[in-house]
Amino acid sequence: MSVRAESLPLPEASVDAAVLCLVMCSLPDRVAALAELRRVLRPGGVVRFLEHTRADTAGLALVQRIADATLWPWFTGGCHTARDPLAAVRDAGFTVTRVRRLRFPAGRAAVQPSSPHVLGAAQAEGDGDRRDLRCGDGHGTPSRMRRPLASSAATSTRAATISPGRLVAGTYRQQPSSQPAG
């Protein structure tokens, strides 16, 4: 199925979690795509993202602007490296709950325009319960997405992943454990 990020074939507030992975740099209309993601995400839903970002050093920022204005987008499927995905996520009405800046590949030699990245999590503003988004494993995995030790009923989580060229949406079911807790 081929769909556009600006027009997701999902009902309003039907998704618990979404993942944006190296896609915002090449979306023709980031504002519309993030508004659409906000529409399908339930209040309190989580967005995880790993995106190229604007460089924090003047030299690499200049390299990014030159690359974006010349052949880089043509060779990389429309990627524009000097965008600010963190600001775009905030502007779309999400609350950023976790963020880490990194370079990939790591090290001083990482001077290619696409090496600065931002890795983070955000929550859809609304009636969601923030306690739902925390857990003791240090990874921020929502407790409802972890497999329970023992349960009498199956649970499900609806998630959407948007990556270059595709949308994956589905319901992930957790079956009750047949083993007693302990």
Report how far residue 73's alpha carbon sits from residue 58's, in angstroms, rounded to the nearest whole number: 21
Cα 58 versus chain centre, distance: 27
Q: Which two tokens stand for residue 23?
A: 């896609």
In this predicted model, what pLDDT tens digit does every residue of 5-16 receive, in sequence order?
Answer: 899 999 999 999
pTM of the model: 0.70
3-class state of residue 4 by DSSP? coil
Share of the chain above pLDDT 70, in %: 66
**In this predicted model, what pLDDT tens digit does every residue of 121-179 receive, in sequence order?**
999 977 444 333 333 333 333 333 333 333 334 444 555 555 554 445 554 444 444 44
**Higher local confidence (pLDDT), 110 or 22:** 22
The secondary element (H helix, E strand) that includes residue 65 is helix 58-69
Structural domain includes residue 62: yes
Q: Flag whether 57 is in a domain.
A: yes
What is the model's pLDDT at position 110? 61
Tell me what the mean pLDDT of segment 19-23 comes to. 95
Specify if 103 maps to a domain: yes
**CATH code for the domain of 42:** 3.40.50.150
Domain count, the chain: 1
- Residue 74 in domain: yes
Of the candidates 119, 124, 51, the one whose C-alpha atom is nearest the C-alpha of residue 94 is 124
Summarize the confidence of residues 22-32 as an average pLDDT. 94
Mean pLDDT, the chain, as a whole number?
A: 77
Residue 117 belongs to a domain: yes
pLDDT of residue 108: 64
Domain that holds residue 45: 15-140
